[in-house]
Amino acid sequence: MRRFEGRSALVTGAGSGIGRATVLRLLTEGATVVAADVSEAGLKDTAGLAAVHAGRLHTRVVDVADESSVREAVAGAVTDLGGGLDVLVNAAGILRSAHTHDTPLDLWNQILAVNLTGTFLTTREALPALLAAGRGVIVNFSSTAASFAHPYMAAYAASKGGIQSFTHAIAAEYAKQGLRAVCVAPGSIASGMTDGSGASGRNRGPGLPEDSDWELFGKLRPALFGEGFADPATGFVGPEAVAGVVAMLASDDGAFVTGTEVRIDGGTHM
């Protein structure tokens, strides 16, 4: 499929995990992509995996929690893409875990700054170019944690719930200008965020409390296991499962989808 031939995209969180998988999927389908991440090393690894598409891939280092960094990166990305932008994928995010009664304010603020404020800042800066495109698309990243109980992740869940509400609001605000805004809500996905393998220290794994009650996680396992589905040992599936859904939503195949979220969790929360 070449659903993105002649179209351009900016993907944050592109240095690892789902963001990287999304960049590779969009490139494979013909898009010209700017991959953005806080980790320069992660972006180099992404570029290495996308070497066959080198002529259509640009990279930008960005701290999505920093307003000036976002402003500079988005402006640079639009320039890299020839002055236009068709698709924005806000995949940048962090996951931290703690007992809520032990959560320091600086940790709470960090999670919301990267996940929620970062999504807002990148969206705000990209909106003029997306609206000028006439049929711009924003794909934001929520999580199953926004709607279902994930213990020890109150701050993360709050940030992702905020992203869902934000997405609904901008979908309504800009629909008459041809913009679509939609969320994906992944769960049970193996990535640098969940397994600690991210290129940036910011993306280290959730670090569950040592005294975590594992019985609380008993219901957080997908229904689909086996070849092509979740690993029976871990209950996780690769990030490509999410990238495929993102590509569908951002393409014309998703042209009648906006102001909603699509859960990608293998039936964990049926």
Hey, which residues are catalytic here? Answer: 156
Pairwise CA distance, residues 239 & 257, whole Å: 22
Pairwise CA distance, residues 114 & 255, whole Å: 29
Quick one: tokens of 266?
Answer: 């293998």
3 state SS of 197: coil
Phi, psi of 104 (to 5 degrees): -75, 155
Nearest to 119 by CA among 161, 177, 151: 161
Judged on CB neighbours under 10 Å (0-12, 13-18, 19+), 27 is buried
Angle at which helices 118-133 and 67-80 cross, to 10°: 30
Pairwise CA distance, residues 196 & 218, whole Å: 21
Say if residues 3 and 252 touch (Cβ distance below 8 Å): yes
Angle at which helices 105-112 and 154-174 cross, to 10°: 30
Residue type, 231: D
